[in-house]
Structure 1
Amino acid sequence: MDQRLPVRGTARGPRGAGAAALLLALVVLAAGCTAGTGGVEGKPGAAGVRDPYFPRLGNGGYDVTHYDLTLDVDPDEQTLRGTAEITARATQDLSSFNLDLAGLTVESATVEGRPAAVNRAGNELTLRTDAKVEDRLHEGETFRTVVRYSGSPKTLTDADDSEEGWLPTDDGAVALGEPTGSMAWFPGNHHPGDKASYDLTVTVPKGLTAVSNGVPAGPPVTAGDRTTYRWHTAEPMASYVATLAVGRFTTKTSTMAGGITVFTAVDPESAKASARTVARVPEVVEWEAGHFGPYPFSATGAIVERTGDSGYALETQNRPFFPGPPSMELLVHEMAHQWFGDSVTPATWRDMWLNEGLATYTEWLWAEEKEDTPAQESFDEAYEDEDNWAFPPADPPSAADISEQPVYGRGAMVIHKIREAVDDDEEFFALLAGWAKAHRHGNATTADFTAYVEKATGEDLSELWKDWLYGESRPAADG
């Protein structure tokens, strides 16, 4: 995301499953204790993964490997009908497990082709899988869950009044997911720690286009007054950077060096003002690859909606989303997230500064190399900005603060201090590329990053971390 647009806040964590889910868990656990089984055969998966800011977000007991989503969208009524086929691997013996879903109505669910009992408490679906002992899911087992659902997707409002989830537009809608909005349009394990590949099949009224992540999986097919689009994302993706944009778009497909597909979709009202910047997508990708290592995905591009369709840009995987014509600074920032955030994804929402600090520092590098503005000048400007000193970037005080200014500006200052400590640009850029390579398509914590930097540099940087990453007060600029 970009801090120069209205700064994103965050929604409060989804409500817990409550007393009803607790009662269900106790019943399921008791049901697992059957004569002749030698004790409990499976236990419920956790209803959250204990994220520091969203403890009920995500689910335990399984790891999703693939989502196959089939959606039929009616933009006039702002409704959808969906089928989610979720392939996952059990990480424990399971008697039940949870999915995150906000608002939509579940019509049916199956696990391995067998009907599953579904209990709902707020944003938590609990699917019971152990009607018979022989039907229970065992640790290491790969299983397929199919959920059919429908309704009017919700727009979720964050603590700072910014909106995510399903955002209606004048000619359709756009789905944006950071940090919790993806649960507004499909059920899943909606924590960044569980990444998966995706297939998306979307049917919309003829004349509209449905754009998502990845690459087109064949040409659009029109039958009567409806057109179906198919998208495939092969590389692992966190659900918060999954997107769907439905509307009238001017689209363009090309191929850049390395065989990377470039797909752009621009609302006609934004086409003229954004043409020059959007045309530079391959240039920005190649420039960033020169600093951070090979581009981590098979596709790139951009989605440009009308001004005001969202209050912020977002690093949706493969093609960032922009609410109106983007500046070069904003394009550089969101493209940097393809390495830092989309490929190397934070293990928890406390690690958000790893995304935003590195993406903001990429803006400083672009200004240094393309606009003759030394990164030191950008650092000095950020240092004098009082907003950057509200709290340490690695320890925001609450969920409402994970997208506030210190995460961006002070996060970038941390990176600049590492550059000063290395004192050799060739080694510094090798360090950044090495970080992107070490955790490519994975997840990482702040502790992973600080340990990596110290190992790569051979330096004890504990004072740097104490003052710039975790310190409550403003250190001396040359400290």
Structure 2
Amino acid sequence: MKFVKILLVLLGLTPAFAQAQLMTTKQKYTRADTLRGMLTPLRTCYDINYYHLDVKFDIAKKYISGSNQFKFTATEDFNKLQFDLFDNLKVEKVVYKGTEVPFTREFNAVFVTFPQTIKKGAKDEFTVYYSGNPITAKNAPWDGGVVYTTDSLGRPFVATACQGLGASVWWPNKDHQADEVDSMLISISVPKGLTNVSNGRLRKTTDLKDGYTKFDWFLGSPINNYGVAVNIGNYAHLTDSYAGEKGKLSIDYWVLNYNAVKAKKQFDANVKPMLKAFEHWFGPYPWYEDGYKLVETPFLGMEHQSAVAYGNAYGNGYLGQDLSGTGWGLKWDYIVVHESGHEWFGNNITSKDIADMWIHESFTDYSESLFIEQQYGKQAGLEYNFGLRKGIDNDAPIVGPYNVNKEGSGDMYPKGSVLLSMIRTIINNDAKWRDILRGLNQTFGRKTVTYEDITGYIAKQSGINLLPVFDQYLHYKSLPILNIESINGKLYCRWIADAQGFTIPVKIRVKGGEWKFVSPTARLKPLEVAGLTKDNIEVDTFNYYIGTLIE
């Protein structure tokens, strides 16, 4: 998902939009934030295996009702656990072995007490019945909730979007990224004449006797909670397939029926080139068993797993704009490429804590440059990546505070992308870089990860101590400074940085000459480049996102 400030600039939105959930500053954290963001023993005591979410949408009343079945494995002995559901929604009852069991609520957390101890290793289940009017998203996908609107013909058009705010804004679950359910049945009942599209594959459609139709979608793969989606509208269904690394991949497009012709043209031009590029760089599309879908939505976009939300008006760029200012961003559909990139980073690899949302967004933002490179050559990709710097604020650390459900700075998008491009330059071996990106997905695919998992893997596989580099760019807002001093007519250099032990090789040259790698440290050392003076030195600030101080 793209960050708030871009939309503010492009659409001229007022500062009131700063109340959105994602990418806003928050200084004080509450008990409610901790209950939502921390892995307490009441959450870690059980591992989610399967959900059956069965929900009816009364669109006219903006009201939902239904149930969610939790199947789990006990990771320790316990008789009490926590699940999550926003407190404006009513828990009707919790049923265990055919009997209602007691529960209490604190903010958006629900605590269930069982009649006896559930032993470690036991497989068990309970079902939550609930109802109410979920929060209506005012500016999805940034503020989160359910979008209730109409299409251009005045017909109902409804969708969910809840990253950051939490999936428990509309359905009960263990709402923490660290525990992904292994598989899921999503049963959504909607007024007759409408279609619901959710994740995975459509198993069955049932004509109910009360004027509703139920759509059963089954997802046979792990999924993060915010990726679970409902999309309701008058959809046309288009199909295609792609000959990928793991064989035939089914492709489905669900679009408003009057958009079918232009949707096919736009998607045909973008989807298969995107899949080819990302399978090359990241490895096979992660969800062959569930297929690849694009679903038209009444908001811009979101990385809903195997049901990518699309609302970019069937045009190139980001709402018709080029975020890089280079021209390269107008040659392809931003939402198709960016949100699909999340199938690898965000969905296949998911951060345990939203504080490490950069793992989702930095790699996916960088995927745009790799897509351009695959289409137009390496220089084009580098130019696009360089152009993204104009969106960097250097206002706060990219890594957010842990255990309170809060992400870091929106710089995780452009600055994170620029950082990864720079690391590729430091490694100076494109084949190894591709192996690292593919290795990340092979090693951590369908898993939840930490900061240390990702940075440690890249450092180890590169053979370079990159940990201080990640530390500097992700934990500090300021750039490292390459300080060059002339002492008695001779040039010396050093790094000035916040991160302990920061050092990277950097390219310098006599202007117009050949680039040379030098390796400054925190201490001044001579610059051993023939003919170099204070007046003719040139530092490679195209491939390196650094500050320079020449004295």
TM-score range relative to shorter protein: 0.7 to 0.9
Corresponding residue for residue 167 of structure 1 = 147
Pair 1:194–1:105, CA change in 2 (3 A): same
Pair 1:90–1:15, CA change in 2 (3 A): farther
Is the contact made by 1:213 and 1:233 (CA closer than 8 Å) also made in structure 2?
yes
Given residue 360 of structure 2, which amino acid in structure 1 is its aligned partner? N
Which of 106, 113, 129 is equivalent to 2:91?
106
Corresponding residue for residue 372 of structure 2 = 367
Give, in angstroms, the shift of residue 303 of structure 1: 1.1
Pair 1:409–1:213, CA change in 2 (3 A): same
Residues 93-102 or 433-442, more deviating: 93-102
Corresponding residue for residue 342 of structure 2 = 337
Is the contact made by 1:175 and 1:243 (CA closer than 8 Å) also made in structure 2?
yes
Is the contact made by 2:36 and 2:404 (CA closer than 8 Å) also made in structure 1?
no
Matched, 1:284 2:274: yes
Corresponding residue for residue 248 of structure 2 = 259
Q: Matches of 2:355 and 2:125 in 1, distance apart?
A: 31
Cα deviation per residue 1:351-382 (whole Å; 9 max; x = unaligned)? 11111111111111122332455333233323
Pair 1:403–1:242, CA change in 2 (3 A): farther
Is the contact made by 2:277 and 2:370 (CA closer than 8 Å) also made in structure 1?
no
Matched, 1:147 2:138: no
Instruction: Flag the structure with larger Rg.
Output: 2
Which of 407, 410, 426 is equivalent to 2:412?
407
Pair 1:14–1:72, CA change in 2 (3 A): farther
Which of 343, 348, 356 is equivalent to 2:353?
348
Corresponding residue for residue 437 of structure 2 = 432
Give, in angstroms, the shift of residue 116 of structure 1: 0.8
Corresponding residue for residue 303 of structure 1 = 295
Which of 81, 96, 101 is equivalent to 2:80?
96
Which of 163, 167, 185 is equivalent to 1:182?
167
Given residue 361 of structure 1, which amino acid in structure 2 is its aligned partner? Y
Is the contact made by 2:356 and 2:399 (CA closer than 8 Å) also made in structure 1?
yes
Is the contact made by 2:282 and 2:437 (CA closer than 8 Å) also made in structure 1?
yes
Q: Tell me the secondary structure at the aligned position of residue 155 of structure 1.
A: coil
Matched, 1:120 2:112: no
> Cα RMSD over matched residues?
3.0
Given residue 301 of structure 2, which amino acid in structure 1 is its aligned partner? A
Give, in angstroms, the shift of residue 269 of structure 1: 5.3
**Which structure's relative contact order is higher, taking Cα pairs within 8 Å and 6+ residues apart?**
1
Residues 368-377 or 455-464, more deviating: 368-377
Corresponding residue for residue 2 of structure 1 = 2
Which of 229, 234, 247 is equivalent to 2:220?
234
Pair 1:392–1:379, CA change in 2 (3 A): farther
Is the contact made by 2:356 and 2:451 (CA closer than 8 Å) also made in structure 1?
yes
Is the contact made by 1:382 and 1:388 (CA closer than 8 Å) also made in structure 2?
no
Superposed, which structure 2 residues align to 1:184-199 within 5 Å? 184-196=169-181, 197-199=183-185
Cα deviation per residue 1:126-167 (whole Å; 9 max; x = unaligned)? 11113xxxx221222211111111222223679x99421222
Give, in angstroms, the shift of residue 406 of structure 1: 0.6
Cα deviation per residue 1:52-110 (whole Å; 9 max; x = unaligned)? xxx99x93321111110111222122212211111012222222111110122222211
Is the contact made by 1:210 and 1:247 (CA closer than 8 Å) also made in structure 2?
yes
Residues 273-282 or 343-352, more deviating: 273-282
Q: Which runs of 5+ in 2 are unaligned?
A: 9-17, 151-155, 317-332, 482-540, 547-551
Matched, 1:212 2:198: yes
Give, in angstroms, the shift of residue 115 of structure 1: 1.9
Given residue 266 of structure 2, which amino acid in structure 1 is its aligned partner? T
Q: Matches of 1:432 and 1:260 in 2, distance apart?
A: 21
Q: Matches of 1:128 and 1:442 in 2, distance apart?
A: 29
Residues 2-11 or 171-180, more deviating: 2-11
> What is the identity percentage for the equivalent residue pairs of Structure 1 and Structure 2?
23
If the length of structure 1 is used for normalisation, what is the TM-score?
0.83
Residues 395-404 or 450-459, more deviating: 395-404
Matched, 1:318 2:318: no
Aligned length: 437
Q: Which runs of 5+ in 1 are unaligned?
A: 19-45
Given residue 226 of structure 1, which amino acid in structure 2 is its aligned partner? Y
Q: Tell me the secondary structure at the aligned position of residue 178 of structure 1.
A: coil
Matched, 1:201 2:187: yes
Which of 40, 57, 60 is equivalent to 1:76?
60
Give, in angstroms, the shift of residue 282 of structure 1: 3.5
